[in-house]
Amino acid sequence: MDDAVRYALVTGASSGIGWHFAEALARKGYQIIAVSNQPDRLDDLRKKLEKDYSVRVITLTIDLARDSAAEEVFDYCSENNLEVEVLINNAGIFFFGEIAGIDPSKVRSMIALHNMTPVMLCRLFGGKMVGRRRGFILNISSISAVMPYPGISLYGPTKTFLRHFTRALRTEMRDHGVNVTCLLPGAVDTALYDATDYNAPLLRKLRVIKPPAKIADAGLSALFKNKAECVPGVLNKIILVVMPLIPHFIISCINRRMNKQKEM
């Protein structure tokens, strides 16, 4: 393999922040390995990046919630001599609701996507980076990592795990020449908000939700500057400090009131 060829692997690259991670890395001259379970969107991404940036884009259509997903991605790269210099663990899902009413398959998928698969990708590709004494790993957590609240009782804690795992991994990798960073975005301007009862235009005007391109750029900037964490936006920085200070009895009262309103 040509030593000058640099590959960046992005999970969840077919939409949202992942798409913009792939584009930003292509702009920096990286060849892209884009992984997702959306083949049509991956093909759209490949065509755009190859046309706009003259880079090679390899697409892998894999359900990253499968038990063997990380090994499948790693084996493909190994068999094809693709040396991954940058690993972006971005793939994830979001749903709102009480855990007792969530389909068990969705519960397993969230835990796999937010915890098992990124950890195994860090283990497999991180091992190679340690051997080369060079590499970059960016794990995407969320400001909800400090919010063990009703309705996101699974989403928040899975992101909490990923945040703490990333901090520990960073310490382990520091002496091996590998940069490890955790990105904690708040609300991001994706289709999620257009498909809900939220007033997306108002949230955009108030800058409560951030453009995904800016989130991706902020995350990569932090990664290449070897920062431990990146929290884009002043409001999100405030939330990260203030939210853990709210007494849980207040959250319980709000939750009971909301449940009563639903019953009316």
Distance CA 12, CA 205 (A): 27
> What residues make up the domain containing 152?
7-263
Residue 31 domain flag: yes
pLDDT attached to residue 262: 60
Place of tokens 């800058």: 207
pLDDT attached to residue 53: 97
Residue 2 domain flag: no
CA-nearest of 74, 32, 82, 76 to 52 is: 32
Residue 1 domain flag: no
pTM summary value? 0.88
pLDDT attached to residue 246: 77
Q: What is the CATH number of the domain that holds 36?
A: 3.40.50.720
Q: Which residues in the chain come in under a pLDDT of 70?
A: 1-4, 189-208, 249, 254-264
H helix runs in the chain, sequence order: 16-27, 39-53, 69-79, 104-111, 117-132, 155-173, 191-194, 200-205, 212-224, 234-242, 248-263
Residue 43 domain flag: yes
Residue 64 domain flag: yes
Identify the bridge partners of residue 183 per DSSP, sorted by sequence position.
140, 230
In angstroms and rounded to an integer, the radius of gyration of the C-alpha atoms of the chain is 19
Residue 149 falls in the annotated catalytic set: no
Residue 49 domain flag: yes
pLDDT attached to residue 239: 82
Q: Check 7, 30, 53, 155 and give the catalytic one.
A: 155
In the sheet with 57-61, reading across from the earlier edge strand, the strands are: 57-61, 31-36, 7-11, 84-89, 135-140, 178-183, 229-230
Beta strand 57-61 pairing with 178-183: unpaired
Q: How many domains does the chain contain in total?
A: 1
pLDDT attached to residue 194: 46
pLDDT attached to residue 182: 98
pLDDT attached to residue 232: 93
Residue 107 domain flag: yes
CB atoms within 10 A of CB 163: 20
pLDDT attached to residue 209: 74
